[in-house]
């Protein structure tokens, strides 16, 4: 990793299937992303969340929600993934939409779909679901919904509650 990010901020670092990633503390996200931007990672690809509820993994993730920021350096053609773990109750993190303007809608989508709060976002409101919708659909404990299908394998259980582990 670069010399410019203070090593204390990076909790872990690695490569997975050829992708480079680092993990930082949630409080450090703004500092990390602005440093990466200064280093040349100027192109914001996406931001999303992964819900690790009841994961079957042996090595349990530290918290339920994992936020993933993917950045790209257009000049040197490299990419980096920044991971942050957020707790189950009141997941919130500082908004980065003033650093990367492209993160604006991604943050709204992540709020809409996962209920992650982004402090300092100018209009954190639902973007895909209707405004009066209740719940955050992409959380693992939100049922898939729809109509039950006769003779289908395990979709039926998913429609009321996703399998726990």
Partner 1 sequence: MGVEQLLEPLGENVLTTTVGKLVGWGRANSVWPAQFGLACCAIEMMAAAGPAYDLGRFGSEAMRASPRQSDLMIVAGRVSQKMAPVLRQIYDQMPEPKWVISMGACASTGGVFNNYAILQGVDKIVPVDVYVPGCPPRPEDLINGLMILQEKIKAQGIRSRV
Partner 2 sequence: MSAPAGPMTEHVQGMTIQRSRLQGRDGDLLTVNFGPQHPSTHGVLRLIVDLEGEVIRGLKPVIGYLHTGIEKQMEALRWQQAVVLTDRHDYLSPPINNLAYALAVEKLLGVEAPPRAQVLRVIMSELTRLSSHVVWLGTSSLELGAMSAFMYGFREREKVMDLNEEISGFRMHTSYIRPGGVFADATPRFLEMLDAFIREMPRNVDEYENLLTRNPIWIARTKDIGHLTPEDAIRLAASGPMLRGSGINWDLRKDRPYSGYEKYDWEVAVENGCDCYARYLVRIREMRESVKILRQALDSLPPGPVNIDDRKILPPPREELETSMEAVIHHFKLATEGYSLPPGDVYVAVESGRGENGCYIVSDGTHKPRRAKFRSASFVNIQALEQLALGSMVADLIAVIGTADAVLGDVDR
Binding residues (CB under 8 A) for partner 1: these are 128-130, 133, 137, 142-147, 149, 155, 159
Closest CA to 70 of 44, 38, 39, 99: 44
Rule CB under 8 A: say whether 128 interacts with partner 2: yes
Binding residue for partner 2, selected from 1, 38, 144, 149, defined by CB under 8 A: 144
Rule CB under 8 A: say whether 134 interacts with partner 2: no
Binding residue for partner 2, selected from 4, 7, 57, 89, defined by CB under 8 A: 57
Q: Kindly report the length of the chain.
A: 165
Are 89 and 72 spatial neighbours (Cβ–Cβ below 8 Å)?
no
Range in contact with partner 2 (rule: CB under 8 A) among 2-10, 28-36, 84-92, 154-162: 154-162
Binding residue for partner 2, selected from 1, 46, 62, 149, defined by CB under 8 A: 46
Measured from the CB of residue 145, what is the shortest distance to partner 1 in angstroms?
Answer: 3
Are 93 and 118 spatial neighbours (Cβ–Cβ below 8 Å)?
yes
Angle (CA) 24-27-30 rounded to 5° is 80
DSSP secondary structure letter of residue 73: E
CA-to-CA distance for 152 and 68, rounded, in angstroms?
34
CA-to-CA distance for 5 and 25, rounded, in angstroms?
13
Binding residue for partner 2, selected from 23, 25, 55, 63, defined by CB under 8 A: 55
Output 37 or 159, the one with its CB closest to partner 1. Answer: 159
- CA quadruple 17, 95, 30, 102: dihedral positive or negative? positive
- What phi, psi does 132 have (nearest 5°)? -95, 15
Q: What are the residues binding partner 2 (CB under 8 A)?
A: 16-19, 42-46, 48, 50-52, 55-57, 68, 70, 74, 77, 79, 81, 100-102, 104-105, 113, 126-130, 137-138, 140, 142, 144-145, 155, 158, 162
């Amino acid at each position: 990793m670069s010399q410019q990010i203070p090593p204390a901020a990076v909790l872990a670092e690695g490569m997975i299937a050829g992708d480079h990633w680092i993990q930082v503390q949630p409080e450090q996200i703004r500092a990390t992303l602005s440093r990466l931007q200064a280093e040349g990672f100027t192109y914001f690809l996406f931001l999303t969340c992964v819900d690790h509820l009841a994961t079957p993994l042996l090595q349990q993730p530290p918290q339920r929600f994992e936020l993933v920021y993917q950045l790209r350096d257009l000049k040197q053609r490299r990419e980096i993934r920044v991971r942050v773990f957020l707790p189950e109750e009141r997941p919130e993190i500082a908004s980065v939409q003033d650093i990367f303007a492209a993160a604006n809608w991604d943050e709204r989508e992540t709020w809409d779909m996962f209920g992650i709060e982004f402090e300092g976002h100018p209009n954190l409101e639902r973007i895909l679901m209707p405004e009066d919708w209740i719940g955050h659909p992409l959380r693992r404990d939100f049922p898939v919904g729809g109509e039950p299908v006769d003779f289908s394998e395990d979709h039926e259980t998913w429609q009321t509650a996703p399998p726990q582990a």
